Amino acid sequence: MKLKTEILGSDKHKTIAMLHGWGLCSKVFYPVVDSLKDRYRIVLIDMPGYGINSAIPANRCDGIVSSLEETIPENCALLGWSLGGILAQKFAITNSKHIRALITVSCSPRFTSCPQEGWPGTDAKLLKKFSTLISQNNCQAVLDKFLSLQAMGSERMREDIKTIKGLLAEAPSPSYYELQAGLKTLMDEDLRNNISRIQCPSLHIFGLKDRLCPASTKSIWGRKDNSHTIVFEQSSHAPFITQTKEFNEQLLLFLDKYYL
């Protein structure tokens, strides 16, 4: 099923599609859009059950990727943040000839930690706790807790949360079913054995103070000529909110050089 999108910028420009994180919608990217729209055509994609696609039933990872195959324009750059980063990686793995560049933000091939393998990430018990807490009547309260967890560590924690809430003020809230489906994807997906299939140039952005996706996971990407990692030292889970100017500068540098 093709998803509805919000498109900004001229059709004459190259395209970058963006996928949001758990519990939010693509309006969270507006601070990034402002710096890109004069030079790129931006396609903002809300996952099923979110934002302008709130009427579409929730889906798991494979189902969403199938919808993205009908939605994402060919030969575009693809950016995914957090949960959206997992979807972006899976899309790049299964549609290697479809996109020209990949950008992941605060995400890794496996979101949950695996202590026995020395793999850092979010404790699966924490995500299971959020899953248990969510009911039909308290979705917004649980989302507020998760926003606080995302911003934790940032010196601008309160400002970051206020900014995100302001951007999403008029967006419909996801339901219990969408939130549960997203948590299952965060808990279950493990793409580590497949990332070698990502052949396009890639940029992987982390926040040094991120408690959910530690910057140490950058080592998984190795040292390839077309694969790059950046760590924003003052940021937690949303570097495009905490260090907007620096984030936009680095994103444009990458796109201008590698999105050919």
Active site residues: 82, 210, 237
**CA geometry: angle 98, 112, 145, nearest 5 deg:** 105
Q: What distance lies between CA 84 and its chain's CA centroid?
A: 3
As a whole number of angstroms, the distance between CA 256 and CA 249 comes to 11
Among the listed residues 249, 248, 254, the one whose alpha carbon sits nearest the alpha carbon of residue 203: 254
Residue 12 CB partners (closer than 8 Å, separation 6+)? 41
Contacts for 127 with CB less than 8 Å, ≥ 6 apart: 112, 183, 186, 187
Tell me the residue type at 45: I
Residue 101 burial (CB < 10 Å; 0-12/13-18/19+)? Answer: buried
How far apart CA 16 and CA 212 sit, in angstroms, is 25
User: Sheet holding 15-19: strands in order across?
Assistant: 5-8, 41-45, 15-19, 76-81, 99-105, 202-207, 227-232
